[in-house]
Structure 1
Amino acid sequence: MNGFERRKQNKIQQIYNSSFELFSKYGFQRVSVNEIAQNAKVSPATIYNYFGTKEQLYADMLMNWMDKQLEQYEKILDSEYPFSEKTKEIIILEAKNLKVLSDNFQKSPFSEVGGLMQMIEEYNEQKVMQFFIKFVALGKQEGYIRRDLTEDVIMMYLTMYKNELGRYWETTDQGRIMRSMDQLMELFFYGLVGEKQK
């Protein structure tokens, strides 16, 4: 990457950071491109040159944020930790991310930003599913996930668990959840009965 391209990428990242901060604090409607530009220390023209519209900036900023979260999950999955520890870290991060989204983007302009829901669905189909397939393969390889379970059933189970933990995370003392996390992970892997009897 040459100097020009690096400066451009740095500016774009500044714009993403500023727009995330302002949109999450004040909502889509109450933030102007001028305010984002001022906060990012760039000109409004720069934002329009890179993104075209405020709606496109919002969509791109959200995709950028999702990419960063997925990168964290990938790093955890590629780490040397046991699979159970990796799963615990990923589920905790996902619960925190669900809270960030619900706290900061409840009034997001899904109807105002054309195609945003479709972009998120495509993102999930392409990037999240690739990660999920890699996660399941590793879990099966290490003996933490039964080989006879289909990806659809595993995905449903993970989604239910993650969503409920995220909802609980929003309404409960997070320190209490963290103290219970080891027990919650045992339940996640072995259920109420405990490890399957041979």
Structure 2
Amino acid sequence: MNGFEKRAEAIKEKIRRTVMELLRESEPKKVRIADIAAKAGISQVTIYNYFGSKEALLREVFLDSVVRATDDFEAVVAELPTMKEAVQLILVADREVYLTFPPEFVRQMVLDDKECAAFIESLYRNRVIPLVVRFIEEGKARGEITEKVSTESIMAYIQFMKERMAPMLDLLEKSGDTDRFLGDMIHLFFYGISGKE
């Protein structure tokens, strides 16, 4: 990468970081290009030159966060944490996503935006599924995941939950307590209703 490309990438990263900061304060539809430009200390024209539109910028920021979350999960799996540590890390990561992107925006990106949905599906099939299978197998080897349930059954359950994302996002939005809802869902997945940990 030459000097011009490095400067351009640094400006784009500054814009993406600024958008993430603004999204923690306001809904995506209320974030304006003028607000982004003012907070980042750059011109609106620069933003349009790099991203084309507010919608394209928001899509790129969202997809970038999904890729980073996948990278983080990959790093967690590589460290071979205990099941409890992994659950805590997953909960923190989910919380960060939903603090930045409200459920309605996630629904729009994942379910309604065909380009975004295709990218996420490819990421899920090529990176996330192999990571989850590895995580399950390593958990079984350490005795933290029961051998009574096959890896295939666990993956089928995860696929079922993935396919039910739209109703889950509705419930998350209606819950009024994102942290508790996500914590409950993760607890149910790992420990069931018996509460055995």
- When normalised by structure 2's length, the TM-score is 0.66
1:142 aligned onto 2:142: yes
- Contact 2:137–2:151 at 8 Å: present in 1 too? no
1:27 matched residue in structure 2: 28
Figure out how many residues of one structure are paired with residues of the other and give that number: 187
Structure 1 stretches of 5 or more lacking a match? none
- Contact 2:19–2:61 at 8 Å: present in 1 too? yes
Cα distance in 1 between the residues matched to 2:154 and 2:83: 15
Cα deviation, 1:34-57, whole Å, max 9, x if unaligned, reads: 332222222233223322222221
Runs of 4+ with deviation above 6 angstroms: 109-112
Secondary structure at the aligned position of 2:102 is classed as helix
Q: Deviations over 1:123-158 (max 9, x none)?
A: 33333324323322322333333456133x313545
Is 2:69 the counterpart of 1:69?
yes
Once the two structures are TM-superposed, the CA of residue 67 in structure 1 deviates from its matched residue by: 1.9
1:130-169 to 2 correspondences below 5 Å: 130-146=130-146, 149-151=150-152, 153-158=153-158, 160=161, 167=172
Residue 116 in structure 1 maps to residue 116 in structure 2 = yes
Cα distance between partner residues in 2 of 1:123 and 1:139: 23
Deviations 1:172-197 (A, max 9, x none): 5958x98x9xxx48x825873959xx
Q: Which has the higher helix share?
A: 2
Partner of 1:135, secondary structure, is: helix
Cα deviation for residue 14 of structure 1 reads 1.1
Q: Which has the larger radius of gyration?
A: 1
Answer whether contact 2:33 2:54 (CA < 8 A) is retained. yes
Pairwise CA distance, 1:80: 5.3
Quick one: which amino acid aligns to residue 145 of structure 1? I
Which residue identity is paired with 1:155? M
- Inter-partner Cα distance in structure 1 for 2:179 and 2:58: 29
Cα RMSD (Å) of the superposition?
Answer: 4.3
Partners of 1:84 and 1:144 within 8 A in 2:
no
In the alignment, the residues of structure 2 paired with residue 22 and residue 193 of structure 1 have an alpha-carbon distance, to the nearest angstrom, of 38
Query: How many percent of aligned residue pairs carry the same amino acid?
Result: 24
Is the aligned partner of 1:188 residue 2:194? no
Measure how far apart 1:15 and its partner are. Answer: 1.0
CA distance in 1, matches of 2:86, 2:109: 34
Task: State the alpha-carbon separation in 2 of the partners of residues 130 and 136 from structure 1.
Answer: 10
Query: Does structure 1 conserve the Cα–Cα contact (< 8 Å) formed by 2:19 and 2:36?
Result: yes
Q: Where in structure 2 are there 5+ consecutive unaligned residues?
A: none
Equivalent residue, structure 2, for 1:43: 43
